A and B are shown apart, each in its own frame.
Chain A
């Protein structure tokens, strides 16, 4: 008798058997890794290529220019100060919400996380509407400073304040994760040994969560370093340049002629950011080490008579950092022109009619952004499932390498990725001879590279949680690889896949940093539109667009929050 079906298995050492589907998935994986690395490698090559020219090389020139060092100092100063503000705000909220019994935790968390998802240019715009002589809010309540007095936010400290508010949720999340992984028993053991609540804090909680705090600080610093929207809206009018805005300004003034120098500058920020990421990941790993026991619960320290006071403090802070600026933004969108106070006679919806009704640049930008974000989300969802599926079957060490590779375009500051993409595509593509530079296609490709990891991570997390026997049972039942992927795996990871797609859409639709350098007339995005309207003095229109953006962001976040019970932990960035 002959064996019915033989499958050659040359590599008898592992338990996977070669077949067509594995080859396809592996090639997809390799292609994606190479494409993710291509922009960064191109940038590295460009920045280092002319080193032989000595003093004439772009890197040497950039390093010798006073403006580079000034911008670097500005970057470090604003990001450092921003990190401090983020640490104070973030740890206050993390400790209060995770460890005590304050009221309305779910809403406090949602509102505190909102600034992270609101695009930076909208944050900057709303704060600009809150202060200064032309503020419609201050005009309306008769508290506006006299005309000609300076806008206090056009300063290094103003930039740092907004950077701090925007990145405080990162500190909050890192600290909250580390607090939630603190087993209840550790605290109970300390209490039974005779420690008072305050002693438990000093002896147990702070030491155990210290690395979470440092990691959160590092994340806030990196995120501030790469932020473009806030220093662009607040710094450029005051002539205060940080590294990303310096690159933007040079590119706006001199175009692709200074690409080599800009590549060298980008390398500088890129290395700074990647060093920060490495530091932060190391600390995160350390903060997670072997804490056994029951974790994942909040520790309800009773605040007693302090409960209302603490709740009121948190609400008060949220009123200042979130509600007041948004209120100013809404008021600005309802007045006929800047400087006019809002009252029953002046209130008008003209700005919204202009934004929604006219078929001008505004509508085109909204259209562009929706298309770009929508198709990026769809394409990435399609790629993520096979990619994560193959990734799951890699040895752990290789899985880490691949994840790092696809993480790079996301971890790099947007300006750096944009410069890298310009370098890669400034000449027409060989063979097919298609020029991508100056088209929406380039922005699309940059979005795919940047947000791939955002979509893959939830899917990978969901796959990792899946009991492998679910797939094995289908295999024994007679289902081949594609069949299993479609009828077993896909339905089970669908919520995570959908969440990943929504996250990509949320991030891409408001994206400014990458598109600020890649856009061209006719190809504006929503992020660029707000920036351009404000620069052109159309603050009212910019406010109206921004209000619509905030509404969209908040409703997408709510949709994702509703999905949360069906998702693995940590998929939704504002929940842990």
Chain B
């Protein structure tokens, strides 16, 4: 076990190689591989039941693995016949319920990991004080956890994580129990925490906006399998499948007769592909609302300009900074677009698509 202050890198890379976990008949995580660099902030994202929490618990060591290996800086933590118990992995975790020990004060909660590592006296108090200062809770050291608000408990849990200089910090849906306003504040403190400590962070969430806002890289999971692994920008701009496209961000999926999976279609090619007969339009394309321009309808909708489509306004929702429009295309498909004014329901508008991303067909 790493003694505090020893020359162990405070953060280390994690390599997850074809890790599989079965609960009886059911496969919770299926041959998942990820390489996480030291100091990276990684989110495991997916709908509930996709295996992301199981993956996190295997990283922590609360679950054994059936197949594959988990390595931390070249040290094997788990494989089919190896299992380093959680207390020897030098990791830390923020639990969904915070898991603050109700019989210990805030300072005792935070100091417990370093106390176990044999730190006593002035050095101990200094360490605890530093950790509490980092989350701006130094004034609350003697309170009991029950006397704190949700956000403050969250920060105590964070302080407890960083006090022992862990190699990896795991976060299990830490914002799930907080209200919207507090979420924004806590997202900020997570980013801040990551910047200051440089720790390797693995963050589990089902909320795509949370993952996009926080993580350097996101692993999108579905039914125990990794669907896509990349930076938030990549996931947003170049989603691999229709499912990822629907899960992350807003947008519409249209059928076109152009392009192939993994290719960007420019406006002209996209419009040509849309103006083909139905049977030839076999390729799914994702069009984000910010790539749609709307103008007043031409005098006669029967004679479309080559670069524009006519569409009917089906629904208008006020979103504050803009209006969100549902438009029905002549083909019957629905297109989601933004506009700064609200057209009348049922009126005709001209639509100009600037680009679209071609998706893989769903298996």
A interface list, Cβ under 8 A from B: 1, 3-10, 12-15, 17, 19, 467, 469-470, 472-480, 483, 487-488, 491-492
Contacts and interface: CB of A to CB of B under 8 A. Distances in A.
Given A3-B76, A17-B83, A491 B103 contact: yes
A228 to B, nearest CB: 42
B87 A476 contact: yes
Nearest to B76: A3
**Across the A-B interface, the 7 shortest Cβ-Cβ residue pairs:** A477-B113, A469-B99, A469-B95, A473-B99, A3-B76, A491-B103, A9-B83
Nearest to B24: A13
A478 B85 contact: no
Contacts, number: 97
Interface residues of B, number: 38
Contact of B101 (A3, A12, A470): A470
Interface in B86-132: 86-93, 95-97, 99, 101-103, 112-113, 116-117
B60 A476 contact: yes
Contacts of A480: 87
Nearest to B58: A15
Contacts of B62: 15, 472, 475
Contact of A475 (B74, B82, B87): B87
B225 interface: no
Interface string B46-76: 0000000000000011111110000000111
A14 B1 contact: no
Given A15-B63, A473-B95, A475-B87, A3 B82 contact: yes
Interface of B: 1, 60-66, 74-76, 80-93, 95-97, 99, 101-103, 112-113, 116-117, 160, 164
Given A477-B164, A478-B164, A5 B81 contact: no
A12 B85 contact: no
B75 A492 contact: no
Given A17-B85, A479-B112, 13 more contacts: A1-B74, A5-B84, A5-B88, A7-B84, A9-B64, A15-B63, A472-B93, A472-B95, A475-B62, A475-B85, A477-B92, A478-B1, A480-B87
Given A470-B99, A492-B101, A12 B92 contact: no
A375 B221 CA distance: 56
Contacts of A14: 64
B92 A476 contact: yes
A478 B116 contact: yes
Contacts of B101: 470, 473-474, 488, 492
B107 to A, nearest CB: 14
Nearest to B73: A1
Interface residues of A: mostly helix, strand, loop or mixed? loop
B81 A492 contact: no
B93 A478 contact: no
Contacts of A473: 93, 95, 99, 101, 160
Contacts of B112: 474, 477, 479, 487
11 contacts: A3-B82, A6-B76, A9-B64, A12-B81, A13-B66, A17-B83, A473-B160, A475-B85, A477-B160, A483-B116, A492-B102
B97 A492 contact: no
A416 B74 CA distance: 63
B69 to A, nearest CB: 10
A1 B90 CA distance: 18
A289 B164 CA distance: 46
Nearest to A467: B97
B201 to A, nearest CB: 14
Contacts of A477: 87, 92, 112-113, 116, 160, 164
A389 B187 CA distance: 37
Contact of B81 (A1, A9, A474, A491): A9
A483 B86 CA distance: 14
Contacts of B74: 1
B229 to A, nearest CB: 25
Nearest to A16: B64
Contact of A3 (B75, B85, B87, B90): B75
A410 B82 CA distance: 44
A6 B113 CA distance: 22
A4 B75 contact: yes
A462 to B, nearest CB: 13
A480 B61 CA distance: 13
A491 B108 CA distance: 14
B26 to A, nearest CB: 13
A12 B66 contact: yes
Contact of A9 (B1, B82, B95, B160): B82
A7 B87 contact: no
A15 B97 CA distance: 21
A312 to B, nearest CB: 42
A15 B88 contact: no
A422 B63 CA distance: 48
A492 B87 CA distance: 20
A348 to B, nearest CB: 51
Nearest to A18: B83
A19 B86 CA distance: 14
A292 B95 CA distance: 27
B80 A12 contact: yes
Given A4-B75, A492-B103, A478 B113 contact: yes
Q: Which of B74, B83, B89, B113 has the most CB of A within 10 A?
A: B83
B83 A7 contact: yes
Contacts of A475: 61-62, 85-87
Given A473-B99, A474-B112, A492-B103, A6 B75 contact: no
A477 B342 CA distance: 56
Contacts of B80: 12
A15 B164 CA distance: 25
B231 to A, nearest CB: 28
A478 B97 CA distance: 19
Nearest to A8: B81
B114 to A, nearest CB: 9
Contacts of A1: 74-75
A252 to B, nearest CB: 52
Contacts of A7: 82-85
B103 A476 contact: no
A469 B95 CA distance: 7
Contacts of A488: 101
A6 B84 contact: yes
Given A9-B81, A475-B87, A477-B160, A469 B64 contact: no
Nearest to B117: A478
Contacts of A9: 64, 81-83
A12 to B, nearest CB: 6
A14 B64 CA distance: 7
Contacts of A10: 81
A476 B82 contact: no
B112 to A, nearest CB: 5
A157 B20 CA distance: 69
Contacts of A467: 97, 99
A488 B86 CA distance: 16
Nearest to A473: B99
Nearest to B109: A473
A17 B64 CA distance: 8
Nearest to B77: A3
Contacts of B164: 477-478
Contacts of B86: 472, 475-476
A479 B86 CA distance: 9
Q: Which of A7, A467, A469, A478 has the most CB of B within 10 A?
A: A478
B64 A472 contact: no
A378 B210 CA distance: 52
A411 to B, nearest CB: 34
Nearest to B102: A492
Contacts of B66: 12-13
B300 to A, nearest CB: 58
Contacts of A4: 75, 84
A469 B93 CA distance: 10
A8 to B, nearest CB: 7
A1 B64 CA distance: 22
B79 to A, nearest CB: 9
